[in-house]
Amino acid sequence: MQNRELDKTLSAWPSVAENIFVPHTEEQYGRMVALLDRLVDEVGEDETHPYASLMELLSVLIEHYESEHVPELTIE
């Protein structure tokens, strides 16, 4: 990444970090799921939407939390 691009990213990060983070608590997980729900409502399945990659990133972070904290369902 060029220095200028990195500088822009670093200057924007404090406001972005309020919503984009690795969730470690149930409350953080809930906030992230709520944000993803709002994005799904806006983006839908439009992979060309400007927020599509943000939606994908949130999905990965949520999946990570679930794999660490939510027990798998067992069917008997």
Over the stretch 62-72, which tens digit does the pLDDT of each residue have?
A: 999 999 998 87
pLDDT score of 76 more than 80: no
Beta-carbon count within 10 A of 28 CB: 14
Which residue, among 27, 19, 36, 23, has the nearest Cα to 66 in the 3D structure?
Answer: 23
Q: 5-17 pLDDT, tens per residue? A: 999 999 999 999 9
Max CA distance (Å), the chain: 56
Nearest to 36 by CA among 13, 3, 20, 59: 59
Q: Tell me which DSSP letter residue 17 carries.
A: T
